[in-house]
A and B are shown apart, each in its own frame.
Chain A
Amino acid sequence: MCRKKTLLKDYERSGKSSVFVDKRIGEQNEDLGEFDKAILRSQRELRVKHSKKSRYNLSDGEEDEYEDQEGGGLYAERDDFDDEVPLDEEDEEAAEAQKRSVILKQLSADGTPGAHATEPSGERQKSKKEVYDEIISKSKFFKAEKAKDKEENDQLIKKLDEQFTSLQSVKNVYPKKVDPDQEKADAYDKLLNEMVLDMRARPSNRTKTPEELAQDEKERLEELEEERQKRMHAADDTSDDDDDAEDDHVNSTSKKLTSISGDDLGDSFDIEEPKTKLAWIQQMLRKENEIDVDSDDGDEDEDEDDDDDDDEDDEDEDDGEGNDVASEIPQSLKDWEQSDDDNDDGDDDDEDTDTEGVNVEEKPRDHKTAASTNERVDTLDAKKKESKAQPSGTQQGDLPYTIEAPKTMDELSAVFDNRSDDEIIEAIRRIRAFNAIKIAAENRKKIQVFYGLLLQYFSVSANKKPLNFKLLNLLVKPLMEMSIEIPYFAAICARQRLLKTRSLFAEDIKSSEKSCWPSVKTLFLLRLWSMIFPCSDFRHVVMTPAMLLMCEYLTRCPIISGRDVAVGSFLCSMLLSICKQSKKFCPEALVFLQTLLMAALEEKPRPSLDAKLYHLMELKSPKPLLRIRGTVVEIKPLDFLTLMDSPDDSPYFTSENFRASMLVAVVDTLQGYVNIYEEFKSFPEIFLPISNLLMELEGQDHTPDALKDKIKATVQLINKKADEHHMLRLPLQMRKQKPVPIKLVNPKFEENFVSNRDYDPDRQRAEERKLKKLVKSEAKGAIRELRKDNYFIADAKARDKARLEEEKAAEYGRTKAFLQEQEHAFKSGQLGKGRKRRR
């Protein structure tokens, strides 16, 4: 049993604190007999003897060698001691030791002379001896080396001494020995200094994060603004330089005031100061009690009005510019009213409406209150200009560099009014840079408010009668950029506006006398949103309602005038551009275009096909709005803006030219739709009725040739595509599903079946299973072994215990026997055995 040798040993050893290790040669090996062991031992001895032939070996007897085996360390120590003796200088010794250790390392690494190379097999006893040998040899070698070195050194020193004496004589020739040295040192110092002063290689500036860029931009603007202020003050100081303290104060307030109203404070502070302060305070007050603003405002403004009155009157007479401002006030008010209907994002605007309510009530005072409440800053502005008698066009001072984001429409208009388009854009840019979201968290709020205002400004300026199209175009870019910055808020704004527009539309359509087609403002906003938001999304929070709204306009608004036709076809083309990318199907636009085409046809008894369409257009009046009766000389492309500007009953809408160009536009749009929808399965059903209409239109007498060509091309396109569809499309089919096979349960027979083989076709699985099996069997075996071990240990313990018991019992018996004997002896009166024994 192997357990007797392993487990039993372990068990016996478990109680002990020290172990006896038998390291005799061959003692551990079971297979060897006594004789073999003896052979091994003698071999070892011989080998040891054989390897012992170093040049510096001191011992030369077998006994000595034997001694060496035990006390080699002693020898070495003694040798070292011998070595060290001659080296008396301490530093040299240290250096020497270092050097030696280095060399030693090298030697041992290289495996140079010494016993290392000759060592046949790494038997331990021998290697120890070898090491000592090596050390001895090395120390001897070093000693020799050192002696040699010392000799050389001595020689060199001697030589140097001789040379030095000769050098001294040379030196004495120079008058001063120190100077040249010092000079040299100076040069060196200089160099050193230079080097210290030299720029070290620095890491190049890292690319800035967007946040930092925004911060930089802001700082730059601030700097510029400060400079501007300084410049202005320099001018002011010349006029009143006596009170610097006040000037400082002014400066500080001016800074504060820039936040309220952009630039107007720059020109003349000392005059305006109390007033602006008052305005400011009022604004604060207004914020505090927003609920009953109107009454408060009215009261507060009374006193101010007195001041304002005459100024304004003057202003009215004064010059064209002033007039302009004055006339603009009511208009912009009206605009606000409208836009307020549309949208409102905040109390600020409610406030506006409130004040307006007051204005409506107090008609006579209207102008005054309006001016003082809404356009307070503006009037101040105008006054200032007047006082300075500055003959300016639309220009008015230069734009401040740092502009706080406006919080109300007043503030916005204060910044924007009387500015050129470029300046407005620049102002927007500066506001955005100064209040960039990335600089501070609270700027997000400001920018959001500003965005809402800007959107309102956009819509207001879209509604102005002389349309400033360039400005609108310019406004689109910042609006788009800001929408990207605050996408969520932008979407909310757009949705709110859409909802308002839609509810307005629903009301408008009930009252028949009002035209319910969208206004220019709505059209522009829709266009803006279609640019800002992605149109190709399957479902988008803004674009889907926007499209629904547009289509609702197309279906529900009656077509009464030529203007309606223009707006409708504009909506159609807008829808086309929206649908283009994702090829969305928009039936309303097609129906509308179809209606327009029918409006161009000559009146005839219609077949039932068209009766159907007239049914859909029940609400609309399919008057022959587009029928061309006369000859058209040339077809000009329509300018939508001029169309929108012209009134409903303008003669242009009834002119033949308009009709022809409109039809061209309609056909163009139609062609766009044809191209988009060419892949739809029901393409022929959608477009063939339209192509019939077109053909009819083409056949008419007065249709101009250019239009005829266009129509022909479109008809051909439609017919070609429809034919393709007729050829290629297949009836609908359900998506094919693979039939799920029933599980087969037939047994599979294997020829030449071997019982233990795994017939799994999946090799990997088979391998896995095999491994699992192995693990299992191994685990079983291990458990069995462990159990056996346990039994064995228990057995051993029991045996021990039994032995102990036995011993105890024996001891006990012996002692008892002894005692009994004694007792017996005692009782028997020292007779019997004891006596006998003693005897």
Chain B
Amino acid sequence: MVDPWRRFHVVYSIEEADTLLDLLASKYFKYIDVCYFTCISLEKLIRTLDVRSASAESEKESPASASGELLIRNLHHALSKIPPLQQLGEKSEFEMWNASGVFAKDSKTETKKKRKDSKTETSDVPSSAIISKKMKLKFSKAWMAFLTLEPLPIDVYKEVLVTLHQAVIPYLSNPKLLSDFLTKSYDIGGVISVMALSSLFILMTEHGFEYPNFYVKLYALLQPSIFIAKHRAKFFQLLDSCLKSPLLPAYLAASFAKKLSRLALTVPPSGSLVIIALIHNLLRRHPSINCLVHQEEKDQTAKNDISAKPGIDHFKNEESDLTKTNALRSSLWEIDTLRHHYCPPGVQVKYTYLFATSTLCLCKYSHPIFM
């Protein structure tokens, strides 16, 4: 049982951490037991750290936070280096670093501890299914422990969010455990929300996670800044897929469409391209909001009512409650203005695509244009 201690030292060290970890990753992480114990020890470490930081906070802050940040960085590094189970699982036989059956013994002890009635595990080498299950458990425990660490430095936080949906979620025993963390980060707003969205989306679509205020939050994310953000392509694709459902109410779709068209007045040409594609898809998928681009001549009585100012826009741009935006009483004049845009693709797209029959693939439009 050398591993946990080594890990401990590595995590606490300051200078050589990277090289050591690299060495570890390249040489030892192909052995399943090494990974296994790494997970366990990391979890333990984090727990102690949590306790300690809590105590440190009460006593004195400054030294703890500085070293704590470094610690967290190292922890993250180590965690992210652990290869996901899928890659290991491809080999039918797990390679053991310590062939003396640590795993077997361990499993035996555990079975003894937890489930005494399971007498089937008599052989020295346990079946790979059980190993992977255990591994998954430990892996998720380690991650969960890590994510509950209170003050994650912002860059680590972002990196975690970026890699989460690809490198972590598929290998967790119960991805729903992440929902707390994700909703919390989604509520933060700004770039963090945008980044949390992709993981959240996976949770919602694949694991039946329910999030009541999702669309309100999504709506709040529509700010000019996302059109120059780094992960905008991903965001717009997610946005498109979130708005795909035909079950969405008309007011919601209309609000999104109207909000996007307002944004089109301020964003660079690449952004307006994306907006046009998005609005087109909305109009395609929700025929109920076609009143945004086409309103029949109103009959006489109705005309008298609003004859004061037919051109006034009832849409409330600053309203955050989707039910009160009045989007359905508006019209997409902004898109008409885009016809005069100085950048030709933006102009052309409008009439050719807005009324095309099929929905558009967004990935084509999320790149910046130059020449």
Contacts and interface: CB of A to CB of B under 8 A. Distances in A.
B309 interface: yes
Contacts of A680: 336-337, 340
Interface string A717-735: 0000000011111111110
Contact of B337 (A619, A682, A728, A731): A682
B99 interface: no
A713 to B, nearest CB: 24
Contact of A730 (B224, B311, B332, B347): B311
Interface in B291-330: 291-296, 309-313, 318, 330
B279 to A, nearest CB: 12
Given A548-B369, A584-B342, A726-B309, A734 B294 contact: yes
Contact of B341 (A499, A584, A616, A731): A584
A753 B43 CA distance: 103
How many chain B residues sit at the interface, stated as a range, is 35 or more
Contacts of A498: 371
A732 B338 contact: no
Contacts of B318: 608-609
A615 B225 contact: yes
Majority secondary structure of chain B interface residues (helix, strand, loop or mixed)? loop
Most chain A CB atoms below 10 A, which of B224, B333, B336: B333
Nearest to B318: A608
Contacts of B371: 495, 498-499, 544-545, 548
A619 B336 contact: no
Contact of A584 (B266, B333, B340): B340
Contacts of B311: 684, 725-730
Interface in B235-271: 262, 264-269
B331 interface: yes
A293 B4 CA distance: 64
Consensus secondary structure, chain A interface: helix
Nearest to B371: A545
A685 interface: yes
A603 B292 CA distance: 38
Contact of A733 (B268, B294, B338, B347): B294
Contacts of B370: 502, 545, 548-549, 552
B228 interface: yes
B170 interface: no
B343 interface: yes
Given A613-B224, A615-B225, A555 B268 contact: yes
A619 B293 contact: no
Interface residues of A, number: 49
Contacts of A556: 228
Contacts of B294: 732-734
A815 B198 CA distance: 125
A30 to B, nearest CB: 82
B338 to A, nearest CB: 7
B352 to A, nearest CB: 13
A427 B251 CA distance: 70
B131 to A, nearest CB: 46
B268 A615 contact: no
A395 B354 CA distance: 65
B262 to A, nearest CB: 7
A305 interface: no
B334 interface: yes
A730 B311 CA distance: 5
Contacts of B344: 538-539, 544
A425 interface: no
A182 B295 CA distance: 111
Given A612-B223, A731-B291, 5 more contacts: A552-B268, A587-B264, A616-B227, A729-B333, A730-B295
7 contacts: A586-B341, A615-B225, A619-B228, A726-B312, A729-B333, A732-B293, A732-B295
* 9 smallest beta-carbon distances between A and B, as pairs: A729-B311, A616-B224, A731-B331, A584-B342, A615-B225, A681-B333, A539-B344, A731-B295, A682-B333
